[in-house]
Amino acid sequence: MLRSAPLAPPAMHAPDGFFSVWLSIVGWVIAAALIALALRNTRDQLGERQVPLMGIMAAAIFAGQMLNFTIPGGTSGHLIGGALAAVMLGPWAGLLVMTAVVAVQALLFQDGGLLVMGLNIINMGVITAFVGYFVYRLVRKIVPGRAGLLVGAAAGAWLSLVVTAAFAAVELALSGTSPLRFALPAMVGVHALIGVGEALLTVFALGFILAARPDLVTGEEAPGQRSAGWVTVGLVLALAITLLAPLASPYSDGMERVAEVFAEPGAVEGRPVGFAVPSEPQFFGEFRDAPYEILPDYTVPFLGDGDLSTIVAGMIGVLIVFGVALGVARLTRRGERARP
């Protein structure tokens, strides 16, 4: 019989204890190598617009991840954003954007474990960015024009989430957390539904950007457009999104739902493998996020755990993620200029 855990992981933000220590260490090594490669590969790709765009994308994705939406079966999901970042910036810069988001969420908001952060970066950053971008480019070769851009982004966003869920299921199996025959259909099934929301949100975001500043997507020059103007507007919009955080779905999301229902064979006796709700919550085991608290669960401690606290914490996070991603972009571009 499995033990109940005091805290459940949100979506793909796995806490420490969810994956084995050895796999978490391997995840850190792989993630660190890929981040270093991303820093090197983006040196030649970041232009005047891409530098602030990295900050805006990170801020918008952070804010978007605070808004869980309900899906059938009594569960919920939220934007991951890796495919969106890759479409806007390319997969390597998209990986850096997602790394900034995941790192700030874990370090500041205790959203995801520290030991497993490498695996979280791989799952939410590497896989979503590269799978999403590959599918996007493939569709664009088949479907021309704006339709191809939007269809490709939608297909890439959906498939990136499904592939990420499959990888997470394999990681759970390798960790001895759950048999692959249970974890794989559970994770893929849940996230195939969440992926529909991911695709719709990605298309909505791209449609909005195409209507307001198509040059940011197409890469074409826009005479007379000042960088500071759209950066300010983008940051204000990201801050405004956090005002909707109190309206987020109250249901368990993605991986949490899988943990509750698919704990182990026989844990939910007499119930089918699906979205069945067990009589008592069942989890893969005990797990936890960071062993300290700064802005836990997206709240400001001295403001309590009400709506205002969530909104203020979200705005703080938006500004910090924006600053981190912008700083990384500027340092990377400065490194390119300094090369002989």
Helix (H), strand (E) counts: the chain: 12, 2
Percent of the chain with pLDDT over 70: 79
Q: Is pLDDT at 194 greater than 60 in this prediction? A: yes
Residue 225's pLDDT is what?
A: 57
Residue 290's pLDDT is what?
A: 65
Residue 315's pLDDT is what?
A: 97
Mean pLDDT over the full length of the chain: 83
Residue 53's pLDDT is what?
A: 94
Look at 44 and 24; give whichever has higher pLDDT. Answer: 24
Q: Is pLDDT at 340 greater than 70 in this prediction? A: no
Helix (H/G/I), strand (E/B), else coil: 16: strand
pLDDT, average across residues 300-316: 93
pLDDT, average across residues 43-53: 85
Residue 124's pLDDT is what?
A: 96
Q: Is pLDDT at 139 greater than 70 in this prediction? A: yes
CB 155 within 8 A of CB 199: yes
Q: Is pLDDT at 265 greater than 50 in this prediction? A: no
pLDDT, average across residues 153-157: 98
| Digit-coded pLDDT (tens) for 272-292 | 333 233 333 333 345 565 677
- Full set of structural domains in the chain with CATH: 21-338 (1.10.1760.20)
User: Distance between CA atoms of 223 and 198, rounded to whole angstroms?
Assistant: 33
Two structure tokens written together for 231: 């950066």
Reading phi first (left if > 0) and then psi (alpha if -120 to 50, else beta), residue 270 is in left
Question: CA nearest 74: which of 234, 254, 215, 209?
Answer: 254
Residue 44's pLDDT is what?
A: 80
pLDDT, average across residues 237-259: 83
User: Distance between CA atoms of 199 and 66, rounded to whole angstroms?
Assistant: 17
User: Distance between CA atoms of 340 and 332, rounded to whole angstroms?
Assistant: 15
pLDDT, average across residues 227-243: 91
Question: CA nearest 62: which of 25, 107, 17?
Answer: 107
| Digit-coded pLDDT (tens) for 7-29 | 333 457 888 878 889 999 999 99
Residue 91's pLDDT is what?
A: 96
User: Distance between CA atoms of 90 and 133, rounded to whole angstroms?
Assistant: 7
Instruction: Give the predicted TM-score (pTM) of the model.
Output: 0.87
pLDDT, average across residues 308-336: 91
